[in-house]
Amino acid sequence: MEKFFTAIATKSATLMGQPAAFMIATGCCIVWAVTGPVFHYSDTWQLVINTGTTVLTFLAVFLIQNSQNRDGAAIQAKLDELMRAVPKARPEFIGIEHLTDAEICAIRRALENEAGHGDKDAASADASVDELLERR
């Protein structure tokens, strides 16, 4: 089931990202708008576009999120492999994506300070990158 969903999500995300999909959606909206006078701008006429767009948006959110999750996990695995393979890299960085936002921001600030790009006044108050990585 998971492979089937992955295949459907990947194919759907690819198709929805094509210019033709945008043109089809735009064409549907134009056809809907042009038919307004024919249906006297009735409640049913409005319900058709509202229901269609709501259902498609609802389904697209899950498909796009699935694609982003897989892409993010693949990129993270590749970065982890690079961190493992580069001799001077600190292996403690592997897995920091599981830290809280505050912890990641603290590490980023410490890296900026270490590189000389951070706030000079805050540099002395912040912990070093190594200290922050040891705490996790």
| pLDDT above 80 (res 115) | yes
Per-residue confidence band for 43, with pLDDT thresholds at 50, 70 and 90: very high
What's the confidence (pLDDT) of residue 63? 86
Residue position matching structure tokens 């319900």: 47
Instruction: Tell me the backbone φ, ψ of residue 67, rounded to 5 degrees.
Output: -65, -40
Per-residue model confidence as pLDDT tens digits over 64-97: 898 899 999 999 999 999 999 999 889 889 999 8
Give which of 64, 67, 135 is closest to 104, Cα–Cα: 135
Q: How many CA atoms lie within 13 A of 72 on its CB side?
A: 9
What's the confidence (pLDDT) of residue 121? 57
Euclidean distance between CA atoms 114 and 133, whole angstroms: 14
> What is the tally of helices (H) and strands (E) in the chain?
6, 0
